[in-house]
C-alpha cells in the first residue's frame, strides 16, 4: 500500500466520521427534546448515547487525522496506530455510556413518573431507520478500508439504533398496558445499557490486541510466508511475525539461503523478498528481512 493509497484511505475515513458527526448531532438534539417533552427517559438515554456518538465521531476523525502524519525522528514508524488508539477510546466511551444509563435507568424505575407520549414512537422509528442505514454504510466502508476506528464508529451507529429499538418497545408497552406500566420505558433503557456495555467491550478488545502487537489472522501469516518462499533462491522461511499499524501491517521474517551466497547477493535477495511481499499484499507497509544461511530442516516452511 503506497503512501498515497494510505492517505486516500484515511481521508475517506475522516469524511465518514464527519458525516456521522453531523447526523449524530442532529439526532441527539431531536431525541433529547422529544424525551423531555414526551416524558420518556429511554429517549433521553438514547439522546445521551447519541451525544457520545458525536464525541466518538470527533475522536475517530482526530485519530485518523493524526494517523496521516509522516514519520519523524522521534516516531520512525509513523503515527498509524493513532487509529487503534481512537478505536479503544470509542469502545471505552460506549462502556461509560452504558454504565451511566444503567444507573439512571434504575433510579427512574424506582421513581413514579408520567407515561411517555405517543409521538415519541414516531421519533424513534425515524431514528432507527437513519442509524441502521448509516451503520451499514459506514461498516461496509470500514471493512473495505480495514479500519478498526471506522468499524467502531459503525458499531456506535448500530448501538444507537438498538437503544432506540429498545426504547420503542418499552414505550409501546407503557402506552398499551396503561397505568402501572410507566416503568417499562425505563426497563427498556436498562436493557439498552447492557447492549452498550457488550458492544463497548467488543470494540476495546481487538484495539488493545493490535496495540499490544497481537498476531493477525493465520491466513495472512500463511500468505506472506508462501509469497516469500516463492522467490527464487529462498531455501526456507521461518519466524514470520506480523503486527498491525493503522490500516496496514509491518512484517518481520527470517529467510534462509545458500551458505555460499555472498553478502551482496544476500542483500539483493532480501530486497526481492520484500518487493514480492509488498507487491502481492498491498496492506504491508514495510518488511524487515533477516538473512541466514540454510542449514537444513523445515522451519516454518508450509507443507506442499
What pLDDT score was predicted for residue 303? 44
* Residue indicated by cell numbers 479503544: 88
Three-class SS of residue 288?
strand
HEC-encoded secondary structure of 226-273: HHHHCCCCCCEEEEEEEEEECCEEEEEEEEEECCCCCHHHHHHHHHHH
Give dist(CA 17, CA 15) in Å, integer: 5
Half-sphere exposure (Cβ direction) of 85: Cα atoms closer than 13 Å: 12
List of domains in the chain = 3-211 (1.20.1510.10), 218-293 (3.30.70.1350)
The one-digit pLDDT tens for each residue of the chain (304 residues) are 455 565 666 677 777 777 777 887 888 888 888 888 887 766 776 777 677 777 777 887 788 788 778 778 888 888 888 888 888 888 888 888 788 878 878 887 887 666 677 888 888 888 889 888 888 888 887 777 777 777 777 877 777 787 788 778 888 888 888 777 877 877 887 887 888 788 888 888 888 888 888 888 888 999 999 999 999 999 999 889 999 887 788 999 999 999 999 999 999 999 999 999 988 888 888 899 999 999 875 544 444 4
Amino acid at each position: 500500500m503506497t503512501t498515497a493509497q494510505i492517505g486516500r484511505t484515511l481521508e475517506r475515513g475522516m469524511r465518514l466520521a464527519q458525516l456521522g458527526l453531523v447526523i449524530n448531532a442532529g439526532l441527539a438534539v431531536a431525541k433529547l427534546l422529544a424525551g423531555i417533552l414526551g416524558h420518556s427517559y429511554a429517549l433521553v438515554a438514547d439522546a445521551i448515547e447519541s451525544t457520545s456518538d458525536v464525541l466518538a465521531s470527533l475522536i475517530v476523525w482526530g485519530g485518523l487525522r493524526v494517523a496521516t502524519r509522516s514519520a519523524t525522528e522521534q516516531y520512525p514508524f509513523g503515527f498509524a496506530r493513532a487509529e487503534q488508539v481512537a478505536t479503544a477510546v470509542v469502545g471505552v466511551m460506549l462502556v461509560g455510556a452504558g454504565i451511566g444509563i444503567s444507573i439512571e435507568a434504575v433510579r427512574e424505575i424506582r421513581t413514579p413518573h408520567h407515561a411517555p407520549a405517543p409521538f415519541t414512537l414516531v421519533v424513534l422509528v425515524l431514528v432507527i431507520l437513519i442509524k441502521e442505514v448509516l451503520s451499514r454504510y459506514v461498516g461496509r466502508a470500514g471493512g473495505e478500508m480495514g479500519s478498526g476506528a471506522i468499524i467502531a464508529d459503525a458499531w456506535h451507529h448500530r448501538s444507537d439504533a438498538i437503544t432506540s429499538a429498545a426504547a420503542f418497545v418499552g414505550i409501546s408497552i407503557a402506552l398499551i398496558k396503561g397505568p402501572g406500566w410507566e416503568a417499562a420505558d425505563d426497563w427498556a433503557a436498562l436493557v439498552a445499557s447492557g447492549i452498550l456495555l457488550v458492544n463497548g467491550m467488543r470494540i476495546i478488545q481487538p484495539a488493545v490486541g493490535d496495540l499490544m502487537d497481537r498476531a493477525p489472522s493465520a491466513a495472512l501469516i500463511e500468505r506472506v510466508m508462501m509469497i516469500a518462499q516463492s522467490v527464487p533462491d529462498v531455501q526456507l522461511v521461518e519466524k514470520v511475525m506480523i503486527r498491525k499499524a493503522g490500516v496496514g501491517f509491518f512484517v518481520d521474517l527470517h529467510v534462509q539461503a545458500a551458505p555460499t551466497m555472498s553478502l551482496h547477493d544476500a542483500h539483493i535477495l532480501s530486497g526481492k523478498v520484500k518487493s514480492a511481499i509488498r507487491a502481492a499484499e498491498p496492506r504491508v507497509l514495510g518488511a524487515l528481512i533477516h538473512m541466514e544461511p540454510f542449514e537444513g530442516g523445515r522451519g516454518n516452511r508450509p507443507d506442499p
